[in-house]
Amino acid sequence: MNTNSLNRASSAAPKVLETEVLIIGGGVTGTGIMRDLALRGIRSILIDKRDLCAGASGGNHGLLHSGGRYVSTDLEAAIECRQEGALLKHLAPQCIEATGGLFVAVKGDDPAFADNFPKLCAQAGIDCEELELAQAKQLEPLLSDDLVRAIRVPDATVDPFHLAQLHVAHAAQLVGSVYLPHTEVSGFSSVDGEIRAAQCADHRNQTTLTIRARQFVNAAGAWSMGVARLAGCQDVHLLYAKGTLLVTTDRLTQHVVNRLRPPGDGDILVPGGTVSLLGTTSSRVDDLERVGPTVAEVDRNIREGAAMIPALAQARYIRAFSRVRPLLQAGTGASDRAATRGFALLDHQAQGLGNFCTITGGKLTTYRLMAEKAADLVAQRLGNHQPCRTAEVALPDDTTCSWSEPSSAPRHWHAKRDPDDLILCECEMLPQSAIAQIFDNTTGVEAQPTLESIALRSRAGKGPCQGSFCGIRIGSYLYDQGHYADATGLVHLRDFFNERFKGQRSVSWGQQAAQLELAEALHCGLLGLDKLEQS
């Protein structure tokens, strides 16, 4: 089934949709629930007010935890990470790079913590191996000369965008489940302790939509407390911790490199494709809609990271970004670092609702387990006795969902050897045939796609130029193909560049500052995008 046709038809669809289950939140947990239910024969509609992985699922290191990072603060979460990470390596290898990880201590770090770390790993069942310093430096030449300890663990990296797309595609293939992006729940209709329907705003065409379902799942991440309140539930209590990360223009290490100390700012570097991600900070926030990196956070990440890898002090950073982690409250005055990385499933029975549940907290690494627990409850309520199968059924590959892989586009282009298949993004070697395939076959892309939706499903705009050139080329291609026919396409172009600019403001020095000057000349001086009326 071509799920894209379902999404494109949504603007012409009736104002009332019906399904067995409505899932709110298109992160890896929400999409994981969608697939889990589909494997049990249960059809669902998944909605997100933005798009796939728009929250914490798409704004993290992409680290598939061995569990080592949490052994000193949350042993239960460490064990869950170890177990789920091992499962995902087997079930979704197309989304994972088995990088391995190093925990390193430098002069001045607490030797007692390093001494105790292997014992804590043993308690969590995590394999770890102490390395000679020369061996660690051979594995990662950029490690500091002040290195005093190095311990290897089975960390890996995961592409959450690829993972989420595969979940949605598989659920659509199995039972015809549907994903609707840019669809925000605004209220619920309840009768006698049951929600009958959700009222939604369709931000694509500024209309309202009613979705009727038998069961409702709140998997909205940091927004789940607000969604629960819309349903009249007061039992979801979260802390909001903003984390800021930086992206380097080069891949500086082959392993994930963690600081061998209690979790703190700037203490982890994660390789991802051709780049590395450095972070993360942690600060309390209250406003979920106005979150962005600050210069102080950028400086703190670099200063702390450079103690492990001095090259970080001089590296070129192509962007910084911030997302909010939903943390279960740990008590008055507790540090956000001390808040549990575990998760909670609330059935809301005590709130007087029998067909609404909330799944919140957790980690990217433990999303499958979170989805299993939520789907178990939903299936039981529906009278479906099929067991969870996501721990044994591998995630099928789907080439239409693979464009976010760093190597996918160049591999495809070289194999095709078509001189007419022009490269639109030179940084990531993304050809126009990739854009055509994303538009024709990938779920969630509308009839008039935004550049943001295409970039989310590919690697467009993720290189050193941050979309300065490829944005113009992709926009021109969409005009040539008739997908854009008026000034709306220019508005999409401007919005895409604005999003790219947000990530560059706090890292605009050196080469990246020069890149920004060039982008301004192209986008404002040449195209006049700054003169467009605000939509």
Read out DSSP for 326-390?
Answer: EEE---TT--GGGS---EEEE--GGGT-SSEEEEEE--GGGHHHHHHHHHHHHHHHHT--PPP-T
Do the domains spanning 3-55+161-237+342-382 and 96-157+239-326 agree at the CATH topology level? Answer: no
Provide CB contacts within 8 A for 447, sequence distance 6+. Answer: 8, 11, 483
* CA distance linking residue 356 with residue 228, whole number of Å: 9
Mean local confidence (pLDDT), 7-21: 69
DSSP one-letter code for 305: H
Residue 332 confidence (pLDDT): 40
How many CA atoms within 13 Å lie on the side-chain side of 57? 30
Residue 336 confidence (pLDDT): 46
Nearest to 444 by CA among 459, 436, 454: 454
By DSSP bridging, strand 283-284 and strand 275-279 are unpaired
**Tens-place pLDDT, residues 397-445:** 988 888 888 888 888 888 888 889 999 999 999 999 999 988 887 767 7
CB 28 within 8 A of CB 231: no
pLDDT range class, residue 328, cuts 50, 70, 90:
confident
Extents of the domains making up the chain = 3-55+161-237+342-382, 96-157+239-326, 399-531
Pick the CATH number of 96-157+239-326 from 3.40.190.10, 1.10.150.20, 3.30.9.10, 2.120.10.30: 3.30.9.10
Residue 534 confidence (pLDDT): 59
Nearest to 470 by CA among 420, 432, 433: 432
Residue 446 confidence (pLDDT): 74
Residue 412 confidence (pLDDT): 81
Residue 151 confidence (pLDDT): 98
**Tens-place pLDDT, residues 94-145:** 999 999 999 999 999 999 999 999 999 999 999 999 999 999 999 999 999 9
Residue written as token pair 């706090």: 506
Residue 175 confidence (pLDDT): 98
Residue 7 confidence (pLDDT): 45
- 159 residue type, one letter: D
**Tens-place pLDDT, residues 40-98:** 999 999 999 999 999 999 999 999 999 999 999 999 999 999 999 999 999 999 999 99
Share of the chain above pLDDT 90, in %: 83
**Tens-place pLDDT, residues 357-393:** 999 999 999 999 999 999 999 999 999 999 999 999 9
DSSP one-letter code for 221: G
pLDDT range class, residue 14, cuts 50, 70, 90:
low
Residue 439 confidence (pLDDT): 82
* CA distance linking residue 248 with residue 240, whole number of Å: 26
Residue 270 confidence (pLDDT): 98
Residue 91's alpha-carbon distances to 35, 41, 457, 501, in angstroms, are 13, 20, 21, 37
* CA distance linking residue 458 with residue 448, whole number of Å: 17
Mean local confidence (pLDDT), 521-529: 93
Containing 184, the helix (H) or strand (E) segment is strand 183-191
Residue 341 confidence (pLDDT): 55
Nearest to 120 by CA among 258, 265, 260: 260
Residue 157 confidence (pLDDT): 97
Spatial strand order of the sheet with 343-346 comes to 178-180, 44-47, 21-24, 215-218, 356-361, 343-346
Residue 105 confidence (pLDDT): 98
**Tens-place pLDDT, residues 249-274:** 999 999 999 999 999 999 999 999 89
* CA distance linking residue 360 with residue 233, whole number of Å: 14
Residue 2 has pLDDT above 90, yes or no: no
What's the whole-model pTM score? Answer: 0.93
Q: Does domain 3-55+161-237+342-382 have CATH number 3.30.530.20?
A: no
**Tens-place pLDDT, residues 155-185:** 999 999 999 999 999 999 999 999 999 999 9
Cβ-based burial of 418 (10 A; exposed 0-12, middle 13-18, buried ≥19): exposed
pLDDT range class, residue 5, cuts 50, 70, 90:
very low
- Own/partner pairs, 346-351, CB within 8 angstroms, 24+ separation: 346/228, 346/233, 346/235, 346/236, 347/377, 348/228, 348/231, 348/233, 348/235, 350/235, 351/232, 351/233, 351/234, 351/235
**Tens-place pLDDT, residues 177-236:** 999 999 999 999 999 999 999 999 999 888 999 999 999 999 999 999 999 999 999 999
**Tens-place pLDDT, residues 258-315:** 999 999 999 999 999 899 999 999 999 999 998 999 999 999 999 999 999 999 999 9
- Find out whether the peptide bond into 280 is cis, omega within 30 degrees of 0: yes
